Structure 1
Amino acid sequence: MTSLPLPDSALPPVVSPEEWREAHRAMLVKEKEFTRAGDALAAQRRRMPMVRAEKDYRFVGAAGEVGLLDLFEGRRQLLVYRFFYDSDVNGWPDKGCPGCSYLADHVPHLAHLHAWDTSFAMVSPASQDQITRLKEHMGWEGTPWYTLVGDDFSRDFDVPEMFGINVFLRDDHDRVYRTYFVTGRGVESMLPTLGMLDLTALGRQETWEDTPEGRPQLPPYRAERHDEYA
């Protein structure tokens, strides 16, 4: 990727090591406030009520048809990402939604989630044959990915199209409850690339950011499938 022009006037000011450390200390104070605010928000999220998932939602996986409880794989918690992969996607059926593909690239080694008694799965309207081919092409073989049976799950859990993350909890009687849902920029917690860019002087380099004049700024939501970057 070719670097965009960056005139000297757009660069951060150059200061002495002592001045830099003073500015860094001031920034750490604000970052600690931000961290504590995030902790408080997470504490509030843990205190949200939940709603029981009453219907017999069905999915098809590599081993055949299963229910929502099976997606837990015996664990206590479950995150389900609705991946936008159907006939409305540009490049279908060889390609999935660019943004969803960007997120799928960031799914961690699931052993880490499993160690916290939590499972992760993706769901889409596409068939298992189509999903398997895309997983192999994109290198997502380690991520459980199920075919949605019918529209009830998507409609009931606010993902009739596009994308979103639903979070579920299983009690000791195998009753399943929905505890949380997020879409839009709320899924950024799963995208460490953006967090890494936020640490840099140029940031995400998108037009919506509050950025000093002259720094590179391009249209937002530039995430691509990893095999398509120029």
Structure 2
Amino acid sequence: MSHPIPKHAVVTRSQWLAARQQLWLHEKAFTHQRDELAAARRALPWVRVEQDYRFHGPHGELGLTELFAGRSQLLVYHFMFAEGWDEGCPGCSFLADHFDGANLHLAHHDVSLVAVSRAPYAEFQAFRQRMGWCFPWFSSHGSRFNQDFGVSVATDGSAQYNYEPYTGNEAELPGLSAFYREADGSLYHTYSTYARGLDILVNAYNFLDLAPLGRNEEGTMDWVRHHDRYDGAPEKSHCCGE
């Protein structure tokens, strides 16, 4: 989807450099503000996880501790895939396309990154294979995990999403939650973010923000498709284990 191209001033190289240096000052200030925000995020108080949440994966049932895969930090992406769906949310899939590359590095820095969906495990295996993803993806079917972490919500006006009243009509929504595991096995919920707070996970957006036309969209991710539905996409993606 293309949108009207805005008109820009055309200037000399020296005029451009002067304007660029002004923007550079703005960028440096933003970088410092971003560092301060990240520090404030890390300084949030923690909540002990008391509930024995159960999940389903390729080797059967497991608890939240097993999702850490022996590491002390866990990032859970709440992937929108409800019971009875044939494919995952295009926006969640766009984010998930970035996970495997990150996981190659995160696994060596004491962080596990996994996805969790509410649908039964068997129901999203065909879609996972179609997308060619390798990252760990578990089902929370039968537990309150999605509800307790704010991504499975009521649509009758009584629910909250992204820390405010929710008036939408989607019962499954995206998010990310972070957890920490002490050496004695104690688990803590440290952070959750939703909606535009998930932008930080989408490196394709960082590239677009550097491009001349930016994100060039009328609504968030209005142009995004499952990666096998773009013109010229390969017929089949590589899938781990194949």
Normalised by the length of structure 2, the TM-score is: 0.82
Q: Do residues 164 (structure 1) and 191 (structure 2) align?
A: no
- Determine the structure 2 residue equivalent to 1:69: 65
Could you tell me which residue of structure 2 aligns to residue 124 of structure 1?
117
Q: In structure 1, what residue type is equivalent to 2:138?
A: Y
Shift in Å at residue 131 of structure 1? 2.2
1:147 aligns with 2:139: yes
TM-superposed deviation, 1:19:
1.1
CA contact (8 A) 2:181 2:188 kept: yes
Give the whole-Å Cα distance in 2 for the aligned partners of 1:135 and 1:23.
Answer: 46
Task: Indicate the percent of aligned positions where both proteins have the same amino acid.
Answer: 41
SS of equivalent to 1:20: helix
Contact map agreement 1:131 1:145 (CA 8 A) in 2? no
Return the alpha-carbon distance in structure 2 between the equivalents of residues 16 and 65 of structure 1: 64
Select 1:100's aligned residue among 89, 92, 100: 92
SS of structure 2 residue aligned to 1:29: helix
CA 201–172 in structure 1, closer or farther in 2 if over 3 Å, else same: same
**What's the Cα RMSD here?**
1.7
CA distance in 1, matches of 2:196, 2:230: 22
Relative to 1, partners in 2 of residues 1:42 and 1:129: Cα closer, same or farther, differing over 3 Å?
Answer: same
**Counterpart Cα distance in 1 of 2:214 and 2:97:** 20
Contact 1:71–1:121 under 8 Å retained in 2: yes
- Aligned residue for 1:227, secondary structure, equals helix
Structure 1 partner of 2:209: 198
**SS state at 2:99 partner:** coil
8 Å contact kept, 2:78–2:117? yes
Instruction: Tell me, in whole angstroms, the C-alpha distance in 2 between the residues paired with 1:61 and 1:69.
Output: 13
Question: Quick one: structure 1 residues 152 and 5, their matched pair in 2 at CA, closer, same or farther if it must change by over 3 Å?
Answer: closer
| Corresponding residue to 1:113 among 94, 106, 116 | 106
**Does structure 2 retain, via aligned residues, the 8 Å contact 1:53–1:178?**
yes
Task: Extract unaligned runs of 5+ from structure 2.
Answer: 153-171, 232-242
Distance 1:108 1:28 in 2: 32
Decide whether the 8 Å contact of 2:119 with 2:139 is kept in 1.
Answer: yes
Cα shift readout 1:190-223 (whole Å, capped 9, x = no counterpart): 10111111112211113xxxxxxxxxxx344312
1:1-230 aligned within 5 A:
6=5, 10-87=6-83, 92-93=85-86, 95-109=87-101, 110-140=103-133, 142-160=134-152, 161-206=172-217, 218-222=218-222, 223-229=224-230
SS where residue 14 of structure 2 aligns? Answer: helix
Q: CA deviation at 1:132?
A: 2.0
In 1: Cα distance, 2:140 partner to 2:3 partner: 42
TM-superposed deviation, 1:111: 2.2
**Per-residue deviation, 1:4:** 5.1
How far, CA to CA, are the matches of 2:176 and 2:54 in structure 1? 17
| TM-score normalised to structure 1 length | 0.86
Are residues 220 and 163 of structure 1, via their aligned partners in 2, closer, same or farther at CA, if it must alter by over 3 Å? closer
